[in-house]
């Protein structure tokens, strides 16, 4: 019996080690393309990564051609794209987060109602719709009635894309809270609305905030819906009713102009840093204020 137990233990240990080795090997294979992309971005993007990238608007094709002829860095930057991205994202956050959190609260508090099941299914369906389709729908809803492209239209498109993640993260975060927490608030005389707003939501802050940040990082690099809604602009614009540029739109424009192709890499590297920073912030917040 002892020999059989020893043989079984050795077999299980060997199988466990083989499985661990296989997982590490496949994980390493998965990471190879990621590191290759990062290396390519850093290698080609650092040349144009300077102060002017953040303080000047995108150059014209002629300015870039003259710089390439003289073998000097391309003048200008992507300030109009940075400000446009911040404007569009800010409007999208204002639109999406309140709607998403309120919808998530309804789903968490009424899990068995038919309307809740319908909203949950539609939310999952919305998450799988291609972004260009959402852009075309917003084009019909906003761009045509307003008779022009605008930052507002781009924000609505991104807000629609953000909604599913915010809704589901809010619902799951509230479901993780113990039922006794709400019962205690109600037993102390608090109204239902007060308990939701002052007890449950602060307790689920980690999940809500993390889900919102991840939703923002998901749409930050979207180009397709902005092409048919925000369109782009060569100057800095703070008017939400006018066409506005974005970093992703500038990358697309630079890619289609051989003279500006070098700016594709620096713009992509900056966008990567933005998304990486948001994800690191989301993980640190989730770790610090996680639901116990």
Which of 269, 291, 239, 266 has the alpha carbon at shortest distance from 64? 266
Per-residue DSSP letter, 46: G
Secondary structure class of 286 (helix, strand, coil): helix
d(CA 242, CA 187): 52
Please state, as a whole number, how many other Cβ atoms lie within 10 Å of the Cβ of residue 201. 17
Q: E-assigned strands of 9-166? A: none
Question: Which stretch of DSSP H or E encloses residue 216?
Answer: helix 205-220
Which of 125, 282, 133 has the alpha carbon at shortest distance from 218? 282
What does each of the 292 residues of the chain score in pLDDT, given as a tens digit? 555 556 677 778 888 889 999 999 998 998 898 899 889 988 888 888 888 889 899 888 888 888 878 877 788 889 999 999 999 999 999 999 999 999 999 999 998 899 999 999 999 899 889 999 999 999 999 999 999 999 999 999 999 999 999 999 999 999 988 888 888 888 988 888 899 988 899 888 888 888 898 899 889 989 999 999 998 988 999 999 999 999 999 999 898 888 888 888 999 999 988 988 888 887 787 777 654 4
d(CA 216, CA 237): 21
d(CA 233, CA 148): 13
Which of 153, 160, 154, 178 has the alpha carbon at shortest distance from 123? 160
Angle, vertex CA 202, rays to CA 197 and CA 206, nearest 5: 135
How far is residue 247 from each of residues 26, 226, 279, measured CA to CA in Å?
A: 34, 11, 18
pTM score of the predicted model: 0.87
| Chain centre distance of CA 79 | 20
- The reported pLDDT for the residue numbered 71 is 77
- Token look-up 């000097």 returns 72
Please state, as a whole number, how many other Cβ atoms lie within 10 Å of the Cβ of residue 165. 22
| Chain centre distance of CA 70 | 39
Which of 129, 128, 78 has the alpha carbon at shortest distance from 249? 78
């Amino acid at each position: 019996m002892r020999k059989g137990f020893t043989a079984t233990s050795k077999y299980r240990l060997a199988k466990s080690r083989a499985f661990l080795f296989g997982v590490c090997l496949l994980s390493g294979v998965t990471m190879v393309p990621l590191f290759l992309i990062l290396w390519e971005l850093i290698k080609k993007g650092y040349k144009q990564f300077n102060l002017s990238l953040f303080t000047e608007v995108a150059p014209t094709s002629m300015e870039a051609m003259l710089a390439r002829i003289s073998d000097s860095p391309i003048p200008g930057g992507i300030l109009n794209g940075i400000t446009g991205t911040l404007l569009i994202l800010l409007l999208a956050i204002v639109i999406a987060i309140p709607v998403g959190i309120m919808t998530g609260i309804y789903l968490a508090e009424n899990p068995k109602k038919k309307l809740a099941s319908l909203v949950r299914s539609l939310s999952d369906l919305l998450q799988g719709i291609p972004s260009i389709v959402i852009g075309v729908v917003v084009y019909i809803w906003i761009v045509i009635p307003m008779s022009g492209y605008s930052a507002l239209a781009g924000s609505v498109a991104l807000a629609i894309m953000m909604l599913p993640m915010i809704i589901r993260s809010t619902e799951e975060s509230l479901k993780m809270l113990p039922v006794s927490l709400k019962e205690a608030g109600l037993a102390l005389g608090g109204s239902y609305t007060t308990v939701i707003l002052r007890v449950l939501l602060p307790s689920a802050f980690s999940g809500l905030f993390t889900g919102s940040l991840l939703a923002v990082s998901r749409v930050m690099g979207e180009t397709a819906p902005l092409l048919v809604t925000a369109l782009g602009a060569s100057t800095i614009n703070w008017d939400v009713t006018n066409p506005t540029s974005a970093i992703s739109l500038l990358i697309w424009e630079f890619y289609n102009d051989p003279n500006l192709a070098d700016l594709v890499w620096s713009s992509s590297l900056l966008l990567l840093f933005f998304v990486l920073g948001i994800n690191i912030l989301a993980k640190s917040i989730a770790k610090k204020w996680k639901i116990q």
